């Protein structure tokens, strides 16, 4: 699944598509969306960015959060709804072809 950011928001790139990696509900905390910039670098500067001090060790463990400039980041669902306005769903199926000889 992919989502497109239509306006400048917390450092996200306007008119750019991001991959949706998943969601997580932190115990006693907010619902987060796990997103990745396919360019592999991070621009997001909002709540729950990698260096946000509100991350606890427990929440990092629950979310599987790893602080790295890999393009992946977490964003609260409320912020996600403000910044991403267009969504795409892609289905992948392993296709195989066979060549048949016809007499």
Question: What domains appear along the chain, each with residue ranges and CATH number?
Answer: 2-88 (3.90.70.10)
Are the beta carbons of 16 and 9 closer than 8 angstroms?
A: no
Quick one: which of 55, 57, 60, 19 has its CA closest to 38? 19
The confidence score (pLDDT) of residue 62 equals: 95
The confidence score (pLDDT) of residue 36 equals: 92
The confidence score (pLDDT) of residue 4 equals: 79
Mean pLDDT, the chain cut into blocks of 10 residues (103 residues total): 77 84 93 90 88 95 92 92 80 67 63
The confidence score (pLDDT) of residue 102 equals: 64
**CA separation for the pair 85, 80 (Å, rounded):** 9
The confidence score (pLDDT) of residue 97 equals: 65
Question: What one-character DSSP code corresponds to residue 13?
Answer: P
């Amino acid at each position: 699944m992919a989502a497109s950011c239509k306006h400048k928001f917390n450092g996200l790139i306007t008119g750019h598509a991001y991959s949706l990696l998943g969601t997580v509900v932190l115990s006693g905390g907010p619902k987060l969306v796990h997103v990745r910039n396919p360019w592999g670098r991070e621009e997001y500067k909002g709540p729950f960015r990698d260096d946000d001090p509100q991350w606890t060790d427990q929440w990092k463990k629950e979310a599987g959060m790893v602080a790295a400039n890999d393009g992946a980041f977490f964003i609260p669902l409320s912020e996600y709804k403000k910044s991403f306005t267009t969504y795409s769903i892609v289905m992948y199926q392993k296709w195989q072809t066979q060549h048949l000889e016809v007499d």
